[in-house]
Structure 1
């Protein structure tokens, strides 16, 4: 016996528990907590452009969630197979039941509930769209538009533009309440640290290597989601300094919700390393961290240069490498994060580490930088 999926429509805002503008990381984390209600979830993306691909979460059989390619924000929600009984679906708008196992949603019902709209095969309202085809898009004024009893096959909820129109499917999501207090941009400066900018805030937070303390992070960013004491010392073999003593064990502050880790010195309790994660689909750390929209800032051309050059997370490794050093890329080390995982097969499990003065890039075989380490 399947429990009924009872969801409400909020034009331009969301549907059920899903809010337009929510991050991919947040939505997938929520779906994990509600596996009893959403047991079958597929992640679909274009592996050829994995860094900037729009991502679709297909929640069988009723829901498709489309996320934007750059910021990985929920852009459009599609409800389909309204009459599929596994599980039964009840769709509401305010206090009105639009569709249920006993109620079929038809063209005339949409007009009665939402009023008149512009002519066309589909019925479109600001932030809301009713389609009479199972898949694809309608062709405007084609046959069937005058059939009052025509049954709705799909319902789509998307963000409204300022003029009330629906946004293009490939547009980024405009700032909205779901983004409040989320990290919007991380500006990286080698040998210095990172400046963090947040939605709904004009004040930036500057985290400096060797100066910002664990207490500063707690005050500025709140407590981390996890504190992890450093146990993996395999990279110490490449270090010229003496190994750490157990009394001075370093530890990580993991801010998964911002896509950032901070390595804190066990001796001085100041930031030693900053790790920024790109959250690329198909890589081992996908979905462990929210995408961090990082940009590496170079030196200004002169004292009057207010816009120093930057390279962004979706730029190819070759471009970023030349930006950091105009010479040939440095020797690299191979890393496979699935070595300790049995029965795990990923298209991009192996990465390479390239070390520069003050910064390390973790790069996939397709030249995508999946992580930046500042030290």
Structure 2
């Protein structure tokens, strides 16, 4: 049985002077297969939480829900009270599904638009007839499903279908929830715990970091056609990092020697204090020699919910490339 842990993040509204805007209308455009308002499918958990921090006036409280027994590999849900649930995939921590709920809750009011049409507002109830009039006919069923979006008449949870079937022909049936997901995923057979297909919002992010012990790391980026980047221990310089990855968000000078436990057999130079290049947006730290200015250590971050470093770094998906135990094992072996 999966246990769910929930962390509530309440922004300090009074300190930021945004308390008077707490109940502003949530006016968003639906983009089937792409997103809702400012939320783009495929965005990282780190990026979305950082954006929400800048929107405290509209989302004063965020609930972060995850499984504490497998927080590194299972999906994460952000609940933005009272209207939005954002589901992020377990491995990539990418926004996979957006759910809009409680359309009649006035705190704050919500307006849903599709292109130039208002689907739902405080004065306009979203009904089955309005959807088919705007989006056209679709296959019969308890829910109305279109590529990249579907409308449910159940208040919460997935019903057994009996209540929906009873009112299948009711044109005035009220929509309770709206789901937006990628068009590439078949809505009838999708795995809600699966990963997100590659899309434009991911461009420039690291898709995978392949670690070679004692050698370095190979970084693969989105889109998949992008040239890989090789960071080699004791060879790649700080200047190389600036060229390959751009300037770090922060440069941090080492203040203690706790990292020396990971040193190689080579003698430790106490006079070489060194410094870190922190790439929070990639989930990577590089420790650089203060004398030679070459990379000495590489630290990959996983952004695990519930951990002390959660939301400081974007998740960096990594694998360790190892040597086969014998000739029968064939090529390289990968561990995640």
How does the TM-score come out when normalised to structure 1? 0.78
- Equivalent residue runs for 1:351-362 within 5 Å: none
With over 3 angstroms needed to count, the CA separation of the structure-2 counterparts of 1:219 and 1:166, relative to structure 1, is farther
Contact 1:126 1:165 in 2 (8 A): no
Corresponding residue number in structure 1 for 2:252: 228
The alpha-carbon deviation at position 307 of structure 1 amounts to 3.3
Greater alpha carbon shift after TM alignment, 177-186 vs 299-308: 299-308
With over 3 angstroms needed to count, the CA separation of the structure-2 counterparts of 1:153 and 1:297, relative to structure 1, is same
Q: What's the secondary structure of 1:36's corresponding residue?
A: coil
Contact 1:24 1:74 in 2 (8 A): yes
Corresponding residue number in structure 2 for 1:186: 209
The alpha-carbon deviation at position 304 of structure 1 amounts to 10
Corresponding residue number in structure 2 for 1:9: 30
CA distance in 2, matches of 1:102, 1:178: 34
Greater alpha carbon shift after TM alignment, 300-309 vs 139-148: 300-309
CA distance in 2, matches of 1:232, 1:301: 38
Corresponding residue number in structure 2 for 1:65: 86
With over 3 angstroms needed to count, the CA separation of the structure-2 counterparts of 1:238 and 1:162, relative to structure 1, is closer
Corresponding residue number in structure 1 for 2:54: 33
Contact 2:148 2:181 in 1 (8 A): yes
Gaps of 5+ in 1: 313-375
- Equivalent residue runs for 1:174-253 within 5 Å: 174-200=197-223, 201-234=225-258, 241-244=268-271, 249-253=273-277
CA distance in 2, matches of 1:226, 1:242: 24
CA distance in 2, matches of 1:237, 1:143: 66
Residue 171 of structure 1 pairs with residue 194 of structure 2: yes
CA distance in 2, matches of 1:91, 1:162: 23
Contact 2:35 2:41 in 1 (8 A): yes
CA distance in 1, matches of 2:135, 2:145: 10
With over 3 angstroms needed to count, the CA separation of the structure-2 counterparts of 1:123 and 1:238, relative to structure 1, is closer
CA distance in 2, matches of 1:52, 1:238: 26
Contact 2:145 2:187 in 1 (8 A): no
String of CA shifts for 1:54-86, please: whole Å, max 9, x gaps. 110000000000011111110000000011111
- Equivalent residue runs for 1:103-182 within 5 Å: 103-140=124-161, 142-161=165-184, 167-182=190-205
Q: What's the secondary structure of 1:31's corresponding residue?
A: helix
Contact 1:236 1:243 in 2 (8 A): no
How does the TM-score come out when normalised to structure 2? 0.87
Q: What's the secondary structure of 2:281's corresponding residue?
A: helix
The Cα RMSD (Å) is 2.1
The alpha-carbon deviation at position 232 of structure 1 amounts to 2.8
CA distance in 2, matches of 1:236, 1:271: 14
Gaps of 5+ in 2: 1-19
Contact 1:13 1:159 in 2 (8 A): yes
Q: What's the secondary structure of 1:71's corresponding residue?
A: coil
The alpha-carbon deviation at position 221 of structure 1 amounts to 0.7
Contact 1:127 1:165 in 2 (8 A): no
CA distance in 2, matches of 1:31, 1:118: 36
String of CA shifts for 1:184-220, please: whole Å, max 9, x gaps. 1101111101000011134111100110011111111
CA distance in 1, matches of 2:185, 2:120: 29
The alpha-carbon deviation at position 236 of structure 1 amounts to 5.5
